[in-house]
Amino acid sequence: MLAWPVEFEQFINERLIVDIKGCGARVWEGGKRSTREEERELVPYEVIAEAVSRFMEPGGIIERARANAREVATMAKAAMAEGGSSRRDLNRLISDLFEAKRNKACH
């Protein structure tokens, strides 16, 4: 993922993917970032092209990004499998909703 945060949580997400997970790259260290449209600075196309090239270099960031994507996919599949945390939580929610409906009907 290439990151060029502009506002709010995007800065946190950028730090997570670039500095912590190491599977992303900052598009541009410079430039003015603002929540006000009239104050924003456009990223020059040369900077974007260089960031994409740097990201896609064999053995570089793209490899970590792919490995991270495989890891997340494996975790998501496990969570949705029989006995997985997401499936268990969904079943619990459905049971709780039926129970709440049943209790409401009894009162």
Express each pLDDT in 68-80 by its tens digit. 899 999 999 999 9
Global pTM exceeds 0.75: no
Rounded-to-integer distance, Cα 7 and Cα 100, Å: 40
| Superfamily the domain 2-81 falls into | Glycogen Phosphorylase B; (3.40.50.2000)
Whole-number pLDDT of residue 7: 80
AA identity, residue 85: S
Whole-number pLDDT of residue 45: 92
Query: pLDDT band at residue 87, thresholds of 50, 70 and 90?
Result: very high
Which DSSP letter does residue 21 get?
S
Strands 25-26 and 2-3: parallel
Express each pLDDT in 27-39 by its tens digit. 988 777 777 777 7
Whole-number pLDDT of residue 8: 86
The domains of the chain are located at 2-81
Q: Which two tokens stand for residue 85?
A: 């945390």
Rounded-to-integer distance, Cα 57 and Cα 59, Å: 6
